[in-house]
Amino acid sequence: GENVEQHPSTLSVQEGDSAVIKCTYSDSASNYFPWYKQELGKRPQLIIDIRSNVGEKKDQRIAVTLNKTAKHFSLHITETQPEDSAVYFCAASLTRIQGAQKLVFGQGTRLTINP
Amino acid sequence: DVKVTQSSRYLVKRTGEKVFLECVQDMDHENMFWYRQDPGLGLRLIYFSYDVKMKEKGDIPEGYSVSREKKERFSLILESASTNQTSMYLCASSLIGRNEQFFGPGTRLTVL
């Protein structure tokens, strides 16, 4: 089955700097890669996702890149702000013809933005 | 706005008790999921369901069962709770054919 590895487990950056979180996956058939953000005491929420037919996707200060050959994808946050402090989870999924889309999550990265 | 609710935010049970965790979604989603969240391990899928009375095992189903009698409700059952089932339990739902999952607020279960 699919296995997703996420690094680093913790990341601390100065406000205004960039942050990068990386994930690798094992199943080359996986074709959907979302990123979820979980603020302290709150539920995970989708912040950005990418499909395997696209190499990069941006949404304001966040971007995701995908390298299918190397089977890794990354989350990039630029101009970090205190509200970016949270735990971030990557995931991978294989489109199924029937039934639910099953996500396999990485271990999570605790991002701290220092003022 | 999608709303996924869970019956309790905090729950304390004793070893050997039967435990029910309830999840309800109000957006007519076909798919529902149960995860447990542990530090350093991320979110691990316990069971999921893509239709009423349909269920599939996730990655860590041992010690758990589920029930889906109505489309909006998905229950996680711990037949005989053990201390290693102390964890945060998250429910999620999604539309059929759609990837985005919407999560509930979580239930922090402590088994003594």
Render each residue's pLDDT in chain A as its tens digit; 115 residues. Answer: 889 999 999 999 999 999 999 999 999 989 999 999 999 999 999 999 999 888 999 999 999 999 999 999 999 999 999 999 999 999 999 766 566 778 999 999 999 999 9
Question: For residues A66 and B83, what is the distance between their CA atoms, to the nearest angstrom?
Answer: 40
CB–CB of A108 and B40 under 8 A? yes
Coil, strand or helix: which one is B84? helix
Tens-digit pLDDT profile for residues B50-98: 889 889 999 999 999 999 999 999 999 999 999 999 999 999 999 887 8
Which of B4, B31, B42 comes nearest A108 by C-beta? B42
CB count in 10 Å sphere of residue A18 = 11
Residue type for position A65: T
**Residue in A32, A42, A99 closest to B56 by CB:** A99
Non-local (6+) Cβ contacts of B109 within 8 A are B11, B12, B13, B19, B21, B81, B85, B86, B87, B88, B89
How close is the nearest chain B Cα to the Cα of A6, in Å?
Answer: 9
Q: How far is CA B14 from the centre of its chain?
A: 19
What tens digit of pLDDT does each residue of A68-85 get? Answer: 999 999 999 999 999 999
- Distance between B110 CA and the closest CA of chain A, angstroms: 17
